[in-house]
Amino acid sequence: MILEGEDSGCFIDPSPVAMGSGFHDTASMRVVLIPGDGIGPEVTHATRQVVAAAGVHIDWVVAPAGADCVASYGDPLPEYTLDLIRKHRVALKGPCTTPVGKGFRSINVRLRKGLDLYASVRPIVSLPGVKVPFSNVDLIVVRENTEGLYAGLEHSPVPGVVESLRVITRPAAERIVRFAFELARRHGRRRVSFCHKADVLRLSDGLFLNAARQVADEYPFIDFEERRIDNLCMELVLDPCNFDVLVMENLFGDVISDLCAGLVGGLGLAPGANIGARHAVFEAVHGSAPDIAGQGLANPIALVRSAAMMLDHIGQTAVAQRIEASVRRTLEAGAGLTRDLGGTGNTRTITDALIRNLEPAR
């Protein structure tokens, strides 16, 4: 493990979609690791074990963030951590707690804004052995990560009244929709659905919708459809197999991500990535799960799969695929599964199963 060192020479493709590109220096791969808080340290520890067993050597540069950092650093997201990600460009992050209605601002929102990680990418795919109503789900939620109601612009003009600004800018709207189309193009996807509430939020979502229509014109070979967000929720629950790539603003994307995670087996399985032009931070969709923290019960699969996305991003595609295959085998076999998956196991037993089910490298 590394606490700090010289640059590894890693490289993130500065094109609008950096997925699938990345490191060229495979001899020494340094990735920032933020254990986070709550179940974060437990699932990051398990994930490191699986990544190591998969046969790739990552020099983890451990960086602090989380509620516990307030006491030691005076800040839940020390500038030092942001600097490490700026330097090494890629990070794997455990969840971090945000106090409700008081205390510090969301670490996640600060991180995404501070590094301009404008695109949240959350693949939602049916997995074997998981008992859910649908077995052929294969969609990607692309969420704008820096604006909307999460811009954090709230104030109280008079006592008893609070205003939260919902910020939508044309450049940010265009770049997230273009990101979604580029993702669709690169992955051979056929349709991009833009999700909005422009009938009510006429100015903000009206601007976003116009930007989406304009960008869609650049991709005549990919279908484009417009979906009202309330209708989308109903359609997703009725039949998620009808959807391909979904793109939307920040708050809608936050809610839809959890909904979609539920459709394929829950938060313990759903991976994610936050991508910018220069940096990328990979993390599970789930939070710090304070109700089970410290008990060894957390399911690490969502973070393990986020790590697989990270490995793919830095050019370690074969390793990423082996980890994904192990996840599938583990779920199918059903031994050692955690309680959220209907099993009686714990973090240790499921991690052992993931390692056992890794195919040897060729």
Instruction: Cite the active site residues.
Output: 150, 197, 230, 254
Using the rule CB under 6 A, give the single segment among 90-98, 125-133, 236-244, 309-317 that binds ligand NAI.
90-98
Contact flags string 325-344 toward ligand NAI, x per CB under 6 A:
-------------x-x----
Residue choice 110, 113, 178, 286 for contact with ligand NAI (CB under 6 A): 286
Residue least distant from ligand NAI (Cβ)? 287
DSSP states of 91-120: EEE------SSSSSPPHHHHHHHHTT--EE
Residue choice 261, 267, 307, 310 for contact with ligand NAI (CB under 6 A): 267
Work out whether 268 is an interface residue with ligand NAI (CB under 6 A).
yes
3-class DSSP state of 49 = helix
Residue choice 8, 81, 288, 351 for contact with ligand NAI (CB under 6 A): 288
- CB 174, min distance to ligand NAI, A: 26
- CB 246, min distance to ligand NAI, A: 19
**One-letter amino acid of 199:** D
DSSP designation for 172: H
- Of residues 30 through 89, those in contact with ligand NAI by CB under 6 A are 39, 43
- CB 99, min distance to ligand NAI, A: 7
Work out whether 357 is an interface residue with ligand NAI (CB under 6 A).
no
φ, ψ dihedrals at 3, nearest 5° = -95, -35
3-class DSSP state of 330 = helix
Question: E strands along the chain, which residues?
Answer: 29-34, 58-62, 90-93, 119-125, 138-144, 154-155, 163-164, 191-196, 223-228, 245-248, 273-275, 280-283
Residue choice 44, 47, 98, 316 for contact with ligand NAI (CB under 6 A): 98
Q: How many CA atoms lie within 13 A of 323 on its CB side?
A: 31
Q: 342 — alpha (psi -120 to 50), left (phi > 0) or beta?
A: left
**One-letter amino acid of 250:** N
User: For ligand NAI, which is the closer residue by CB, 8 or 288?
Assistant: 288
Binding residues for ligand NAI, rule CB under 6 A, total 22
Interaction site with ligand NAI (CB under 6 A)? 39, 43, 95-98, 108, 267-268, 283, 286-292, 298-299, 302, 338, 340
